[in-house]
Amino acid sequence: MRRGLTLAVGLVMILTGCAPSSPEPSDGRLRVVATTTQVGEAARAVGGDEIRLTVLLRPGAEPHEFELTTAAAAAIERSDLILESGAGLERWLEGMLATIGGRDRLRDMSAGVPLRAPDDPAQADEVDPHWWLTAPNAIVLVEHVRDALSAARPDLASGFAERAAAYVTRLQAADVEIRRLMAEVPPGRRGIVTNHDAIGYFVAEYGLHLVGSVFPSLDVSSEPNPAQLAALADTIRSEGVTAIFSESAVNPRLAQAIAQESGARVVDDPLYTDSLGPPGSGAETLDGMLLHDARVIHDALTAG
Ligand SMILES: [Zn+2]
């Protein structure tokens, strides 16, 4: 078992051509790996200084794919807990854990969240993995992180519970503000076009509707063909959609093309969907991300 693990990590080092990072001395803190920026932020907030946290994805990175680095493999190998977003997002992690072990340390943060089917019937056998994009679901995320950390370190549970409760209060306030903003959007203007099919949970929770997406899929692995792009441009015109929303982690090139074709405009300020924003963006927290997106959508749909 141990030997297989060392071999696998050694192979990764050869493939990436990196030197192994020196093993860090354990200081007794819980070593936690979080996959996405959203899970990482919840772990940072709830765990505070009492955990040693590694977040695999960087702000702005696309979470459907992940290129395993030596540092990531080493962090996973040394971890006490691995927190994943789940709902089929981290397929890249499955294969890795099967090789190097660690499935027993894996916790699925999407457990119990009502997952939605994708809008594209061709993907009917999948679920939409972007469940973190509502305040109620972000609250579930924070509570799952709290429970996972507390189960691993019951002696620290009161601190985890206190910080989680503070975060939940902030998310509840964000939820009220988002509903207030969306209530200002006239019913006839609630159609949304986004870059990829990432915003379905937000749309359903907050009374919008999805007219279409530039990449007609849950990830951005397959580019739309010219006929699909032309059909979307037609729909945008016929539904009177004026704004196409871009996303921080997705290339806006095709969105620009659709905008030209349809007469809509691409909203300059991207939505944070797959990733939180970088430090200082205001969208580097769960409530900050949701409020940012709500304000961008509100301003675009109520303009003019
Ligand atoms: Zn996505």
Q: Spell out the SS3 assignment of the chain.
A: CHHHHHHHHHHHHHHHCCCCCCCCCCCCCEEEEECCHHHHHHHHHHHHHHEEEEECCCCCCCCCCCCCCHHHHHHHHHCCEEEECCCCCCHHHHHHHHHHCCHHHEEECCCCCCCCCCCCHHHCCCCCCCCCCCHHHHHHHHHHHHHHHHHHCHHHHHHHHHHHHHHHHHHHHHHHHHHHHHHCCCHHHCEEEEEECCCHHHHHHCCCEEEEEEECCCCCCCCCCHHHHHHHHHHHHHCCCCEEEEECCCCCHHHHHHHHHHCCEEEEEEECCCCCCCCCCCCCCHHHHHHHHHHHHHHHHHCC
pLDDT at 268: 87
pLDDT at 10: 41
| Among 54-58, 91-95, 222-226, the least confident range | 222-226
Would you say residue 23 has pLDDT above 90? no
Give this prediction's pTM: 0.88
Residue 162 makes CB contacts below 8 A (sequence gap 6+) with none
What pLDDT digit, counting tens, does each position of 193-213 carry? Answer: 988 778 999 999 999 999 988
pLDDT at 64: 83
Would you say residue 281 has pLDDT above 50? yes
pLDDT at 36: 97
Would you say residue 116 has pLDDT above 70? yes
Distance 277 CA to ligand 1 centre (A): 14
pLDDT at 247: 84
Distance 150 CA to ligand 1 centre (A): 29
Distance 282 CA to ligand 1 centre (A): 20
Would you say residue 143 has pLDDT above 80? yes
Distance 210 CA to ligand 1 centre (A): 15
Residues 121-136 have a mean pLDDT of 88
Distance 250 CA to ligand 1 centre (A): 9
Would you say residue 22 has pLDDT above 70? no
Distance 116 CA to ligand 1 centre (A): 14
Would you say residue 121 has pLDDT above 50? yes
The model's confidence at residue 25, banded by pLDDT at 50, 70 and 90, is: low
Distance 198 CA to ligand 1 centre (A): 5
Percentage of residues in the chain with pLDDT exceeding 90?
A: 64
Distance 245 CA to ligand 1 centre (A): 14
Distance 247 CA to ligand 1 centre (A): 9
pLDDT at 169: 98
pLDDT at 105: 96
Residues 102-122 have a mean pLDDT of 89
Query: Between 2 and 257, whose confidence is greater?
Result: 257
Token pair of 142 as six digits = 């924070």
Would you say residue 4 has pLDDT above 80? no
Tell the burial category of 8 from Cβ atoms under 10 Å away from its Cβ (0-12, 13-18, 19+). Answer: middle
Distance (Å, whole) CA 203 – CA 232 = 18
Distance 123 CA to ligand 1 centre (A): 14
pLDDT at 24: 56
**How does the average pLDDT of the chain come out, rounded?**
88
The model's confidence at residue 69, banded by pLDDT at 50, 70 and 90, is: confident
Distance 288 CA to ligand 1 centre (A): 18
